Structure 1
Amino acid sequence: MTEISYASPRPGFSPLALDSRSLPVRLAAVLLGTLVLALASRISVPMVPVPVTMQTLAVTLIGAFYGWRLGALTIIAWLIEGAAGLPVLSNGAAGLAHFAGPTGGYLFAFPIVAAMVGWLAERGWNGRNLPLAFAAMLLGNALCLVIGAAWLATLIGFERALLAGVAPFLLGGLLKSALGAAILRAFTRQKAQAPTA
């Protein structure tokens, strides 16, 4: 008699395989992730009408590479660093005031975004499937804008929040989604071509 398994098949794609690593390795990955995000927060690409930072690109990539649990934990650690006064937020900003001001919604959205992109990546929306990787990145950017604008609307009103907190970032979100998907694809190809011991 054959035993029936009710577990749904999963692609099981974890580029860095951090879930199977030791605790010290995972802690080092979290610290490295917060450093990458801090550096990405200082990179600003001139665009019209507003410059675009690389924060959301880093957030979505951390989710995709780390998986949903460790990805979200890494972003939370970065937020704690920023709240504690370390200059890791956008353009080297720091302090609790940023969590209560206009950018608060976007900051609180980041760990949710990383978790969602990581969850999707673990289910096949990753570098093995470029259209799905792009869709995961795009959904991550869209979720960030929705949560950020919802918070912003409580401060300045719905219409102004859409004009100031969503519209200027649509093109940047699209481009960062494409770049993120391309990075995942390139990493997947490189890993597939790497010789095994």
Structure 2
Amino acid sequence: MRSSQPPFRPALARLADVSPLWAGAVLVVGVALLAWSAQLSIPVEPVPITLQSYVLISLAALLGWQLGGLAVVAYVAIGLMGLPVFSGGRSGVAMLTGTSGGFIAGFIVTALLVGWLEENRARARTLPLLGTLALGHLVLLMMGAGWLATLRGASFALEQGFLPFLPGAVLKTIFALATIIAVERLAGTPRGR
């Protein structure tokens, strides 16, 4: 059964639709923002606290699931190939088996989830978008802590890989919502409640 609503294209996805050149530029900027935000970190153990989840969910909502997912896959791929784009300038395949592995894998899942929900459910409405962003953060934290639990146990993962990230996740979700609304206003995207 088809929806009676017209297709919704997030603000930066519409920009990428203009030409392949714009699409490439949007992807490069997305990857660069993810790499930059990884370096803005509080170097705590076992996983540093970064600004990445803010950039991740903002980009996913503004790019949509296909382009946002592609940007995140490209970011993860270049990090795994050895470019120092992960937090603290780290890189390499070993990152997937380390304490940050669940978060790195979670970036892709979160980008796809947030982008898809924005395009198909939230559709530029403020409260559904807030819920989408919060869910994206929750999924990312659960994947990160879940992997950490396999390495060091559930109690350690909860105390060191989940709870310390919650206050920042709340703030980053609110800032992401404000950022998305600001970018959409600049792009002329109408917003409902």
Q: 1:156 aligns with which of 127, 144, 152?
A: 152
Shift of 1:115: 0.7
User: Where do 1:1-197 residues align within 5 Å?
Assistant: 6-8=1-3, 9-10=5-6, 12-16=8-12, 17-18=14-15, 20-44=17-41, 52-125=49-122, 128-192=124-188
CA-based RMSD: 2.2
Q: Percent identity, aligned pairs only?
A: 35
TM-score, scaled to structure 1: 0.85
Query: Which of 1 and 2 has greater Rg?
Result: 1
Shift of 1:139: 0.6
Partner of 1:31, secondary structure, is helix
Higher helix share: 2
Q: How many correspondences in the alignment?
A: 185
Cα distance in 2, alignment partners of residues 24 and 191 from structure 1: 18
Shift of 1:22: 2.9
Pick which of 61-70 and 37-46 moved more: 37-46
Distance 1:181 1:61, change over 3 A: same
TM-score, scaled to structure 2: 0.87
Structure 2 stretches of 5 or more lacking a match? none
CA deviation map 1:88-143 (0-9, x unaligned): 111221122211111101000101101111111112525x4222222111111100
